[in-house]
């Protein structure tokens, strides 16, 4: 791989969350959730409610939406005989919606391109399931942007468990002090802390309605261009 020096870069591996960090996906997720709710005779949820449910993967988000719509507990929804049918319908709706109303946040494409061209390893660690992750990445021409993609169903566990980060550190032979996680939620901060690596966050993402600074990240950045050498 031909690389261009990136100054005295402090990180050899940068890992990213997806939703709310690299791509604004709420509008189309909300569309798919409400497509599903309406199909099964339920009232739609607001986009703000759906935003606040993001973080643990689309399956958990759907469970929360159904729990509210049916006035049932999340446990009752998970155990429902109809849930598998509803989840399958949601999958069809979401795959159809992927790329329809999502958009890259500022500086994402240029920053990823510059970092990778300079030899920084890039990984994506998301709780979104693989088929949706790949559809969203492909819709925005980012499917070749990462050296490794770890989705919510890639391993037996998901964030905030650090296994996704740890597997990337091992694969690329990078020490924890040479790695950085970039996210937008308290889940991302906890994941990075559990893995023993630094964490920077974006203030515009999805943190379940809470201010991200309260999660005590190492740094809050305006956009991902802060990852470029002139910003360190």
- CA atoms in the 13 A half-sphere facing the CB of 162: 17
Residues annotated as catalytic (active site), given as ranges? 17
Nearest to 202 by CA among 224, 178, 229: 224
- The residue with tokens 């709706």 is 93
> In Å, what is the CA distance from 39 to each residue of 32, 85, 159, 201?
11, 11, 31, 36
Q: Which helix (H) or strand (E) holds 47?
A: helix 47-53
What is the C-alpha to C-alpha distance for residues 39 and 224, in angstroms, rounded to an integer? 38
Tokens found for residue 50: 């759906």
Helix (H, G, I), strand (E, B), or coil: what is residue 123? strand
What is the C-alpha to C-alpha distance for residues 107 and 96, in angstroms, rounded to an integer? 26
């Amino acid at each position: 791989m031909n690389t261009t020096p990136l100054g005295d870069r402090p990180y050899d591996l940068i890992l990213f969350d997806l939703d709310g960090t690299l791509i604004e996906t709420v509008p189309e997720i909300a569309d798919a959730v409400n497509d599903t709710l309406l199909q099964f005779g339920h009232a739609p949820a607001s986009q703000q409610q759906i935003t606040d449910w993001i973080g643990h993967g689309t399956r958990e988000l759907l469970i929360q939406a159904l729990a509210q719509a049916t006035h049932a507990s999340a446990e009752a929804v998970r155990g429902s005989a109809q849930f598998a049918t509803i989840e399958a319908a949601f999958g069809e709706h979401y795959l159809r919606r992927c790329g329809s109303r999502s958009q890259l946040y500022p500086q994402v494409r240029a920053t990823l391109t510059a970092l990778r061209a300079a030899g920084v390893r890039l990984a994506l660690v998301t709780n979104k399931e693989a088929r949706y992750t790949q559809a969203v990445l492909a819709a925005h021409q980012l499917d070749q942007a990462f050296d490794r993609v770890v989705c919510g169903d890639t391993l037996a566990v998901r964030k905030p468990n650090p296994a996704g980060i740890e597997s990337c550190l091992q694969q690329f032979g990078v020490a924890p002090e040479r790695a950085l996680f970039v996210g937008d939620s308290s889940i991302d901060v906890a994941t990075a802390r559990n893995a023993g690596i630094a964490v920077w966050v974006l203030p515009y993402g999805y943190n379940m309605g809470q201010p991200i600074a309260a999660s005590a990240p190492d740094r809050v950045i305006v956009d991902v261009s802060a990852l470029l050498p002139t910003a360190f």
